[in-house]
Amino acid sequence: MNPDDADAQRAGPHDTGSRGAGPPGTGPDGVTSHSSDGLEGVAALAARLARGEVTSRELVEAALGRIEATQSTLNAFRRIRPREALEEAAAADGALAAAAQAGHRPHRPLLGVPIAIKDDTDIAGLPTAFGAMGEFAPVARDSEMVRRLKAAGAIIVGKTNTPEFGQWPFTEGQAFGVTRNPWDLDHSPGGSSGGAAAAVAAGLVPGAIGSDGAGSVRIPAAWTHLVGIKPRRGRISSAPVREQFNGLTVFGPLTRTVADGALLLDALSGSLPIDRDRPPEPPETFLAAAGHPPPRLRIGLSLHRPYSGMPARLDPAVRAGVERIAEALARLGHEVIPAEPAYGLLGAIFLPRSMDGIRDWSGRVPDPSLLDARTLANARTGRLLRPLLPLARAAEPLARLNIGRIFRKVDILLAPTTATPPPRVGELNRDTNWATDQAIVAACPFAWPWNVLGWPAVNVPAGFTPAGLPVGAQLMGPATAESHLISLAAQLEASEQWQRFHPGQRVARAG
Amino acid code (one letter) for 468 = G
Q: How do 335-338 and 298-301 pair as beta strands?
A: parallel
CA–CA–CA angle 44, 48, 50 (5° rounding)? 115
DSSP assignment string, 358-388: HHHHHTTSS-GGGS-HHHHHHHHHHHHHGGG
Looking at 33, 216, 237, 271, which residue is catalytic? 216
- Cα(368)–Cα(16) distance, rounded to whole angstroms? 47
Name which of 82, 43, 90 is nearest 66 in CA terms.
82
CA–CA–CA angle 197, 209, 223 (5° rounding)? 20
Asked if residue 209 lies in contact with residue 495, where contact means CB atoms within 8 angstroms, the answer is no
Residues 6+ apart with CB under 8 A from 95: 106, 108, 111, 153
DSSP letter for 147, please.
H
Asked if residue 160 lies in contact with residue 152, where contact means CB atoms within 8 angstroms, the answer is no
Provide the H-helix boundaries in 103-256: 144-151, 194-201, 218-224
Looking at 33, 35, 56, 192, which residue is catalytic? 192
Helices (H) and strands (E) in the chain, counts: 17, 18
* 271 labelled catalytic: no
Provide the H-helix boundaries in 407-448: 433-443
Q: E-strand spans in 81-203?
A: 114-118, 155-160, 172-173, 177-178
Looking at 33, 35, 56, 118, which residue is catalytic? 118
From residue 14, how far is each of 183, 219, 351, 500, 504 by CA, in Å? 10, 22, 41, 8, 6
Name which of 429, 8, 439, 428 is nearest 184 in CA terms.
8
* 216 labelled catalytic: yes
- Cα(357)–Cα(245) distance, rounded to whole angstroms? 5
Cis bond before residue 192 (omega within 30° of 0):
yes
**Phi/psi of residue 299, each to 5°?**
-115, 125
SS3 128: coil
Active site residues: 118, 192, 216
